[in-house]
Structure 1
Amino acid sequence: MNKLFKVLGPGILFASTAIGVSHLVQSTRAGMLYGYGFLGAIIIINILKYPFFEYGTRYAAGSNESLIDGYKRLGKWAIWSYFMVMIVSLFFVSAAVFQVTAVFMKELFQMEDVGYTFLPLLLIIGSCYLILALGKYKFLDQFIKVVGIAMIICVTVAFIMTFSKDDVITSEQFNAPELWSLSTIPFGIALLGWMPTAVDLSTWNSLWTLEKQKISGYKATVKESTNEFALGYGISAVLAVLFLALGAMLVYGTDTVIISSSAGFANQVINLFTSAIGEWAYYIIAIAAFCIMYGTSIGVLDGYSRALKRTSEVLFFKSKEAGEQWYLCALTITAIGGFSICYFLNGNPQGFLLIVDVATILSFLFAPIVAVLNYQLVVRKEFPEEHRPHLIMRLISLLGITVLSVLSLVYVCYYFGAFN
């Protein structure tokens, strides 16, 4: 147990970061719209993506360097490919997370009538920036554990109590949407793109693993590190299923209209839980939902900033530490970039879900590139043989790369009208 607490951190931080937009928004929306239609897809994609996230932890623990440093060892094409993927996704992904967090903040504190539209968004980004600039990873590691445990308890209680309720009354006018149709492709890609989160975020695992060892003073073995990550990943996967089930049990088949506006959808998600537990729990649920999104915002801001800092060091400073000011610079770029996307899409009535869908689709399209890079790093001869993944993990990896590539190709063909 003593060793567990010394290692515990990066995996739980990953889970808490993942249990954000992909779960609260995408999984819940999938259950509301399609019932259990996407249940199998969610389970399968969690299995197929697992190796690529685990390789981030495995490589860091086995080589004492991050995936980003490893990409450079594969060649300039690899590190530049990752850099381009990260820059493109950075702004949209951070914008999606910041926007969703601001929406839940509005609902919790009833801030719809505030004089300045972007006040909640600025409060979210500004406070996360200050926490990371002053407290850095040590505070993040402690804060995220508390937030994650609170949300796990909340979702589990809501799920159990939902089973004790009477079945929802199916509307006579309800027509089940066709799951296997061309019109479902964009939603399916968006859902799976961030399930449990974007594959390029695997670099964060490696950076967090190294930072955890640095602040704890304990050099964990590869087995200890990967087991801790597996625990966090498993929690994330189970909660994804629970969120989908809540949407399916409480909304699917009813007359309830899925609201596309940001405030309306956030309120709808919160009401899902209160309808299961009771109206008395509204503020408890609202606080829990806001806290997990706030924790996700901090995690995303820190993760992208660390990745941007390290990538810049590898590319432009010959892998040398550029200093703390570069981390603050990366924090500033990520914060301003995320806010800018939210600002320019504010006039769009579908802006909330548009930001989420664009971010998740980009993540899915980039997934095969990062998956290939991660796989190459842990099977190459330079990586210690005792730390390389076993045969089953390798087979799942190859299958995952194939599936991710095919689905990305299907979406590109759909986008350019090849199926018309």
Structure 2
Amino acid sequence: MGGRTEPKTETTESDLTYPSSGWTGFFRNHFGPSMLWALIGIGGSHIVIAPTMGATFGLVAIWMFGLIYAAKYGAWELGIRYNYGMGANPIEAYRDLPGPKNWALWLTIAVFTGMYTFITASVGMNSAAFVAALTPEWFTAPWAYVVFVGGAGALVLVSRYSLLEKALIGFTVAVGALVLLGVLVGPPSPERIAETAFAVPDLTGPAFVALFAAAAGFAPTGLSTSILIGSWSMAKEEGAGELRSKGLDPNDPAYHDYIRAWIRTGRRDFNIGYAFSFVLIVSMVILATNVLYPNPPTDDNLAFAIGSILSDSFGEWSYYAVLIGAFAALYSTVITLLDGAARATGDILPMALEDDSIDSERVRKLVVVGVVGVSSAMVLALGTVPVTLLLYVAAVLAVTEIFFYPANWYVVEKHLPEPFRPSRAWHAYYVVSLALVLAFGAMGATLRLGVIG
């Protein structure tokens, strides 16, 4: 049931493999990259930022996350459109962006090596905080970081993509089921719903700007992950890359049905991961509103606060279940970040240097070792400040990753065959959503520059 085969045409020497159209075949053969992508978000944004937003603002935080998800969707949709429409990662086309030669490739490498070191440090520090809450006092969070993030680096160095994918999807399903069940068993009271569902906060106040900028940077993930999901999709060896491998022209109308089918399949996969990510982040807001509001978690009580979100629903045993689940989600994010950043850098560096003789696998391993080493030193120097570091890095991310949205739009318009370029309706959406993303970045910039609070 892997797919169906179309008859040969005069312009091809062999049949093309079409994606499975039914749901059974889809889940068996094509589902996966979106869940790896979702794992990056089901960590810092879901386990730390969403409960903090819910505990600070209540259910109105759902509308905030809804706006963020609606605005940022376009950057990934463009990446998916290019990925499956061209059978390639969008990063391959960044060489054609206007400006100095290969500048966009070098900027992307800087994001995946530099910025991802900070992201790994922030998410890893939060995972270490949960480890520290489950272990003896002498095993402090910074040393837990060194041990567990070092272990994640070792896992990424030796694991194959398929094994990594299965392990991480298992983490996601487990923590997601626990949170969703908690919402069903213990929703907020009618009084709490009425009090917070439409209570608009001070939109110019430092508390709102700080938290919203952080949410806009981390939720559901940074926009650079459009490159990572492209790498993971290519690793599955499916999509319109079959045309390229056989020397066939995607602009030939004979292959347009084939391309259209793969774009639909890629978008379907991504939409599932996107919807799952949103439902889970809404669930965390609801739980935090029910249990923590109006007392958000802090650096000192993060593990205790998050661990208690299901206590009203399931009793004391759930405290340890949530700690373990939160650690699993955060730790799986660390693994995914290390794998994705290293894999992407290994793919991009030969293109940036225009040297195919570079050993991408060696680059990948060096990036993993470098990110683990530098981030560990950073965490040991900073001490235990999980919430503070995550909010700071997330706000910076809202600024630094804006580039990927217009870059993806440019390469789609420049390279995709005419029938698969965005319609006028999509253009209108991109304009509005990109304006919102720029506004999110402005909030992060003003916060970090000290203009606000």
* Same fold per superposition (TM over 0.5): yes
1:154-192 CA distance string (max 9 Å, x none):
111011111287977999xxxx99432331212221122
Write the letter of the residue equivalent to 2:288: G
Shift of 1:11: 0.4
Shift of 1:338: 2.1
Shift of 1:287: 2.1
Write the letter of the residue equivalent to 2:440: L
**Cα pair distance change 1:320/1:364, threshold 3 Å:** farther
For the residue of structure 2 that corresponds to 1:35, the secondary structure is helix
**Cα pair distance change 1:366/1:272, threshold 3 Å:** same
Which residue pairs with 2:442 in the alignment? 409
Q: Distance in 1 between matches of 2:181 and 2:309?
A: 13
Q: Does the CA contact (< 8 Å) of 1:259 and 1:268 recur in 2?
A: yes
1:302-359 CA distance string (max 9 Å, x none):
111112222222212435662422211111122122222212211xx6x222220221
Correspondence 1:151 to 2:151: no
**Cα pair distance change 1:314/1:418, threshold 3 Å:** same
Q: Distance in 1 between matches of 2:76 and 2:340?
A: 14
Shift of 1:34: 1.1
Write the letter of the residue equivalent to 2:47: L
Shift of 1:413: 4.2
Which residue pairs with 2:334 in the alignment? 297
Correspondence 1:21 to 2:54: no
Q: Does the CA contact (< 8 Å) of 2:87 and 2:242 recur in 1?
A: no
CA-based RMSD of the aligned residues comes to: 2.8
Q: Distance in 2 between matches of 1:26 and 1:37?
A: 14
Q: Does the CA contact (< 8 Å) of 1:32 and 1:248 recur in 2?
A: yes
Q: Distance in 1 between matches of 2:190 and 2:437?
A: 39
Shift of 1:285: 2.3
**1:120-199 correspondence to structure 2 within 5 Å:** 120-163=144-187, 178-183=201-206, 184-199=208-223
TM-score by length of 2: 0.82
For the residue of structure 2 that corresponds to 1:37, the secondary structure is helix
**Cα pair distance change 1:247/1:6, threshold 3 Å:** same
Q: Distance in 2 between matches of 1:39 and 1:169?
A: 12
Write the letter of the residue equivalent to 1:293: L
Which residue pairs with 2:278 in the alignment? 237
Q: Distance in 2 between matches of 1:223 and 1:117?
A: 44
Correspondence 1:4 to 2:27: yes
Which residue pairs with 1:51 in the alignment? 74
Write the letter of the residue equivalent to 1:324: E
Write the letter of the residue equivalent to 2:281: A
**Cα pair distance change 1:39/1:168, threshold 3 Å:** closer
Aligned to 2:299, which of 261, 277, 281? 261
Write the letter of the residue equivalent to 2:210: P
Write the letter of the residue equivalent to 2:304: N
Q: Does the CA contact (< 8 Å) of 1:57 and 1:209 recur in 2?
A: no
Q: Distance in 1 between matches of 2:81 and 2:203?
A: 37
**1:82-93 correspondence to structure 2 within 5 Å:** 82-93=108-119
Which residue pairs with 1:106 in the alignment? 132
Q: Distance in 2 between matches of 1:239 and 1:106?
A: 25
**Cα pair distance change 1:407/1:126, threshold 3 Å:** closer
Q: Does the CA contact (< 8 Å) of 1:158 and 1:276 recur in 2?
A: yes
**Cα pair distance change 1:393/1:240, threshold 3 Å:** farther
Q: Does the CA contact (< 8 Å) of 2:188 and 2:289 recur in 1?
A: no
Which residue pairs with 1:309 in the alignment? 346
Q: Does the CA contact (< 8 Å) of 1:133 and 1:328 recur in 2?
A: yes
Provide structure 1 residue ranges, at least 5 long, that are not aligned to the other structure.
Answer: none
Which residue pairs with 2:89 in the alignment? 66
1:1-50 CA distance string (max 9 Å, x none):
12432111100111122111001100100000111233212101101111
Shift of 1:225: 1.6
Aligned-pair identity (%): 20
**Cα pair distance change 1:170/1:343, threshold 3 Å:** farther
**Cα pair distance change 1:392/1:241, threshold 3 Å:** farther
Shift of 1:208: 0.7
TM-score by length of 1: 0.88
**Cα pair distance change 1:239/1:82, threshold 3 Å:** same
Shift of 1:136: 2.7
Correspondence 1:274 to 2:308: no
Aligned to 1:377, which of 408, 411, 433? 411
Which residue pairs with 1:288 in the alignment? 325
Correspondence 1:97 to 2:130: no
